[in-house]
Amino acid sequence: MPCLTPHDTQAPMHYLSAHAQGAAVSMLTGEVIGDNRNPFRSRLEWITDCRPATQRPQLHTQGWTWTPIEPMRLDDVDLPHRSSVEAVENVVLRLTGGQRVQVFDAAVRRVQTVDSSPGVGRDSRMSTPQSVQLAHCDYTPDSGRACIQRNTTWDMHCGRVWIVNVWVPLNAAVTNPPLAIGIPGHGQLFTGPCQLVYTDRTGSMNLVKDSSSLKWCYVKGLNVDEALVFKTYDSAPLVDEWVSTPHSAFWNSADTLEPLRQSIEFRCAVQWIDG
């Protein structure tokens, strides 16, 4: 039994089964495809609100943090204004100390349904992606490298490269579903591959297996002037560092369900240039 505090909440978290070899998901519909249509397992986990902590986590040492940021400005088709992109790049430069940062993708999520079942947040009936309710790491070593090569003109041999996710609420303080971050405990992180099948390519990420030991954390009521920032790829992790930080949306029954979360996530490439 963990040492609990008044700031802990309990919620189901969804994992890849310990015995599953992997999974494949359509990025058009969100449906599991292939022979194994039920590779996921759910377990009640304790999730700690880190806002009351005396010290915030550090991006370089713990893989995530949260920080003040200017509220995001979007145009009529949900694209961020240049000023918001620059604000995100400046935050990432400050937190990482990298020599250069490039936002290469921005995705808005407007959650429309109360649904606690596991999924990758894709549903062709919805106007935007929904919440990803699977414990996952955005990239594998190979898919992270391919993402940098696909979305930048950077030379990967010029220095260490990260991909960083900057996650910002759009409409109000997030009640449901918030985003939980997995903190490494003692022992190995067990993962299994998940194929992400698009119309023109197949990507991959790692799903956390239910045999893994993680401490789950979140920031209660993350607001429009705050950003959750976490590393999702590292081209040259040091000893005991992770290539990609585990995370998952979750439904918090101890909090109000309304308003449902609206958020934007920026994917940023960061490079430290050798020499």
Q: What is the 3-state secondary structure (H, E, C) of 247-272?
A: EEECCCCCCCCCCECEEEEEEEEEEC
Q: Please tell me the total count of domains within the chain.
A: 1
Between CA 233 and CA 231 the distance in angstroms is 6
Q: How far apart are the first and last CA of the chain?
A: 49
Question: Is the pLDDT at 2 greater than 50, yes or no?
Answer: no
Q: In degrees to the nearest 10, what's the CA dihedral of 110, 9, 31, 34? A: 150
Residue 144 amino acid letter? G
Residue 54: inside a domain: no
Q: Which residue has the higher pLDDT, 264 or 35?
A: 264
Residue 216: inside a domain: yes
**How far is CA 206 from each of CA 36, 122, 143, 232, 248, rounded to the nearest angstrom?**
16, 17, 10, 11, 12
CA atoms lying within 13 Å on the CB side of residue 275: 2
Residue 174: inside a domain: yes
**Sequence-ordered list of residues with C-beta below 8 angstroms from that of 55, at least 6 positions apart, any chain:** none
Closest Cα to residue 48, out of 264, 259, 256, 250? 250
Q: What share of the chain is helix, strand, coil (3-state, %, to 5)?
A: 10, 35, 50
Residue-wise pLDDT tens digits, 29-52? 888 998 777 899 999 999 999 999
Strands lying side by side in the sheet with 64-68? 64-68, 226-234, 161-169, 262-271, 100-110
Residue 58: inside a domain: no
Let me know: does 206 contact 194? Beta carbons within 8 Å. yes
Between CA 232 and CA 37 the distance in angstroms is 27
- Residue 95's pLDDT is 98
**Sequence-ordered list of residues with C-beta below 8 angstroms from that of 253, at least 6 positions apart, any chain:** 11
In this prediction the pTM is: 0.93
Length of the chain: 275
Between CA 130 and CA 12 the distance in angstroms is 17
Residue 237 amino acid letter? P
Give the mean model confidence (pLDDT) for residues 106-134: 89
Let me know: does 189 contact 242? Beta carbons within 8 Å. yes
Residue 56: inside a domain: no
Beta strands 247-249; 179-184: pairing state: antiparallel
Residue 55: inside a domain: no
- Residue 212's pLDDT is 85
- Residue 187's pLDDT is 64
The backbone torsions φ and ψ at residue 149, rounded to the nearest 5 degrees and listed phi first, read -65, -30
Domain encompassing residue 14: 9-48+63-271
Residue 198: inside a domain: yes
Residue 2: inside a domain: no
Residue with tokens 């030991």: 213
Let me know: does 172 contact 224? Beta carbons within 8 Å. yes
Quick one: pLDDT band at residue 160, thresholds 50, 70, 90? very high
Closest Cα to residue 174, out of 134, 228, 221? 221
Quick one: pLDDT band at residue 124, thresholds 50, 70, 90? confident
